[in-house]
Amino acid sequence: MYVQVPFCSTTCAYCAFYQVRSEDDDLARYLMEVDTEFSLVETPLRAGTVFWGGGTRISLGVQSLQPDLLAALCRRHTRDQALRAYDLVRAAGFASVNVDLMFALPGQEAADWGGDLAAAIALGADHISTYCLTFEEDTALYVKLSQGNVTRDAEQ
Ligand code: SF4
């Protein structure tokens, strides 16, 4: 079972997913409404796994550990914060931790990508999800591509 959690403080440059900024108690109210919807299901659900917001239980949208690429993607976190978040979820006892990484980013060298993969493997992530960047319309990166300010990876 997948439960979407659509709150993001800022919009990543490549993101075309539905997301809004949460205000005040939006998250708490949202979770209460999810609970209410569960109570409306007449046949009790027996889900083997519940995904909250994506990934394999818990999933970290690291995307890159290169500071310049993180900035280009408008990610809010730094390399160190991503690594710290990984340590925190491990310390909290999550049994399965996924790390998301992106490739074919403008300006990303093969060594950057290899370094990110090696770092994720060294962390001991249970699963590593890799995503090829796509330029979705209505995203900041698509506008930059249209204006010729970034170029698409030649192998895309
Ligand atoms: S990619 Fe960025 S903006 Fe889109 S849902 Fe994930 S965190 Fe939010």
pLDDT at 54 over 60: no
Domains of the chain plus CATH, in order, are 2-146 (3.30.750.200)
pLDDT in tens, 10-24: 999 999 988 899 899
Question: How far is residue 136's CA from residue 32's CA, in Å, rounded to a whole number?
Answer: 32
Question: Under a CB-based contact definition with an 8 Å cutoff, are residues 125 and 99 in contact?
Answer: yes
Question: What does the block give as tokens for 149?
Answer: 């300010």
**What does 25-75 look like in DSSP terms, one character per residue?**
THHHHHHHHHHHHHHH-SSPP--S--EESSSSSEEEEEE-S-HHHHHHTT-
In this structure, the residues whose C-beta lies within 6 A of any atom of ligand 1 are 8, 11-12, 15, 17, 19, 61
- The Cα-based distances of 134 to 34, 89, 105, 140 in angstroms read 31, 29, 9, 12
Strands 127-132 and 58-63: unpaired
| Predicted pLDDT at 11 | 92
Q: Which ligand 1 atom lies nearest to the CA of residue 75?
A: 2
pLDDT at 99 over 80: yes
Instruction: Tell which one of 19, 21, 131, 142 to mutate to probe ligand 1, the residue whose CB is within 8 A of the most ligand atoms.
Output: 19
The set of residues, in sequence order, having a beta carbon less than 8 Å from that of 14 and lying 6+ positions away, is 73, 102, 133, 134, 135, 136, 139, 140, 141
pLDDT in tens, 137-148: 999 999 999 999
pLDDT at 45 over 80: no
Among 106, 119, 117, residue whose Cα is nearest residue 148: 106
Question: What does the block give as tokens for 138?
Answer: 């209505």
Q: What are the residues facing 127 on neighbouring strands?
A: 98
Compute the average pLDDT of residues 101-123: 96
pLDDT at 27 over 70: yes
The maximal CA–CA distance of the chain, rounded, in angstroms, is 53
Q: How far away, in angstroms, is 61 Cα from ligand 1 center?
A: 8
Q: How far away, in angstroms, is 42 Cα from ligand 1 center?
A: 33
